[in-house]
Structure 1
Amino acid sequence: MLHLCPLSESLLISNSRSACDTDLLCRERVTFCINVSKQQPFPALKISGMRVPVFDEPAENLYKYFDRCADAIEDAGKQGGRTLVYCKNGRSRSAAICTAYFMKHRSLSLQEAFGDVVQWMLTDVQVSTHRLLKHAPEISQASGRTQ
């Protein structure tokens, strides 16, 4: 399912597949993208963006990008924009960048910032799961399976 998870009014997180869906980006009014990967594509939609060229490996130095990314997210928000931070799966590198943003610009501790990012993402998954469960009978019937 293509989806962007809102972490605040001006910050969203997602995976690369959702990040490249032009209709979804337009619907969510995304104005800036941070692609936290060496290999994932940028959206075809012509919006501003930056690449953080790291692989999802512990040896990569993601720290050196924290300030630049956090400041870019803050600047976009102050201009009324919305930033999407994404990596391949939208769980590790992108979550670290969002956590750094909340620490720097919202003055949260690591535990508070990371806890908030995880909680927002889990809440979003729970909402999506609720929608799936609500429509499970129709999905099963359409596939010819019974529950």
Structure 2
Amino acid sequence: MAMNQIPGQNIYISGIFCLKNKEALKRENITHVLSVLRLNPAEVQETFSSYEHFAIDADDTDDENLLQHLPAAVQFIQSGLDAGGNVLVHCAMGKSRSAAVCIAYLLHQKPNVLTPQSALEILRQSRPLCEPNDGFMEQLALYHEMGCPGNDVTENPVYQRWLYRRDVEESVACGRAPEMRSVRFEDEQPTRPKEKAVQEVEIKCRKCRKGLATSPYIIPHEEEKGNSTKVRPNAECAHVFLHPMKWMSPSLFPATDGSKTSSSYDNAEGDAPLAGRLICPTPKCGSNVGKFAWQGLQCSCGSWVVPALGLAKARVDIANKINPARTQASVGIRMPPGMRPPETNDSSSGRGNL
């Protein structure tokens, strides 16, 4: 199987059978080999004894967590290049796993220029068969969102939120709600979401005025244009969807405090409910402020949100307040349809008429 050089890089990509061609490896001055597959330990010493070798045990499946290994892979590739050698990255076929790692390296080199798809196109110039599976492409997009770090990603909020969503998906696939210990409550995290908007949204219970959420905890989603599955044609969002917050715990996990609630449903005996109502955290209020569904909900605008923890607009008050710590030059977060402030027209500002 051919060994192909990535354009503009002293990095080569191939399948595992290329390692049998020692003359070709020597001719291309391969000094470092990165293996992205599960190897037979008995063959490692014999096959890789002449090279600096680093192995990532990974299967070519959508649910394989390759993301956690990308920084170490990037560091190894860079160390080989810095030593003046050439680096070979291989998997079984040189198509998915090895391509994903090479894309991560290219992204790390030019995070503001490349995207996962444009980096893949660079690889395909010399190796057209490169095609990381959909799960790896999603993880590369997350790696790019993180800023393409060259160090550990496991403490990054983006990574932790992705793990939490994976746990939810796996639990729901088995017909169960996730366990409480696997849920990431955003307002308990050491690094909380930063408010980037000049105009901050504050949501309160309509009955008792208890504060429930602000802009950093809101999950933005776009209205699906022309979606034939809309609940109501031309409807605005009836709910504001949130990241999990600690005040939701009694609704999401009613058994943890020894109580039972009639507001939850779709739960087996002893299990947390898959879906139910969100209750105001003020003890004397107890108002139904929304609903949740770990398997997801379709918003009235047509978009699906998974998992879905939504405050009903009819049961809460949503207020906009100016954030004095931000200027008008700040980048606002994207809000759901129906919550965005009206656009202003600056054409009448009088600029240029002095």
Tell me the CA shift for residue 106 of structure 1.
Answer: 3.0
* Structure 1 residues 106 and 77, CA gap change in structure 2 (3 angstroms): farther
- Taking only the aligned residue pairs, the percentage that are identical comes to 25
User: Which structure is higher in helix share?
Assistant: 1
Paired residue type of 1:114: L
Unmatched 5+ residue regions in structure 2? 130-354
**CA-to-aligned-CA distance 1:61-110 (integer Å, 9 cap, x gap):** 11111111112112211221111000110100000000000000233221
CA shift, 1:20, in A, is 3.1
The yes-or-no answer on 1:109 pairing with 2:111 is no
In structure 1, the partner of 2:83 is 79
Deviation at 1:113, TM superposition (A): 0.9
Q: Using the TM superposition, give the Cα deviation of residue 45 of structure 1 relative to its aligned residue in structure 2, in angstroms.
A: 4.9
Q: What is the TM-score of this pair, normalised by structure 2?
A: 0.33
For residues 3 and 44 of structure 1, the distance between their equivalents in structure 2, rounded to whole angstroms, comes to 18
Number of corresponding residues:
122
For residues 110 and 51 of structure 2, what CA distance do their matches in structure 1 show?
25
Show structure 1 runs of 5+ residues with no match: 124-147
**Cα deviation, residue 44, structure 1:** 4.7
CA–CA separation in structure 2 for the residues paired with 1:87 and 1:121 = 14
- The answer for the alignment partner of 1:135 in structure 2 is none
Q: Is the 8 A contact 1:16 1:88 kept in 2?
A: yes
Shift of 1:120: 2.4
Q: Which moved more, 1:102-111 or 1:76-85?
A: 102-111
Once residues 36 and 4 of structure 1 are traced to their aligned partners in structure 2, the CA distance between those partners, rounded to angstroms, is 15
Q: Which amino acid aligns with 2:13?
A: I
Q: How do residues 109-128 of structure 1 correspond to structure 2 at under 5 angstroms?
A: 109-122=115-128
SS at match of 1:90: coil
* Paired letter, 1:20: K
**What's the CA shift for 1:23?**
1.5
3-state DSSP of counterpart to 2:30: coil
- Specify the structure having the higher radius of gyration (Cα): 2
Distance 1:44 1:78 in 2: 20
What's the CA shift for 1:115? 1.4
Asked whether the 8 Å contact 1:22–1:45 carries over to 2, the reply is no
Tell me whether 89-98 or 60-69 shows the greater mean CA deviation: 60-69
Instruction: Judge which range, 84-93 or 98-107, deviates more.
Output: 98-107
Residue 96 (structure 1) aligns with: 100
Question: 2:24 corresponds to which residue?
Answer: 24
Partner of 2:329: none
Q: Is the 8 A contact 2:54 2:76 kept in 1?
A: no
- In structure 1, C-alpha distance between the alignment counterparts of 2:82 and 2:110, rounded to whole Å: 13
The farther-off stretch of 6-15 and 83-92 is 6-15
**TM-score normalised according to structure 1 size:** 0.75
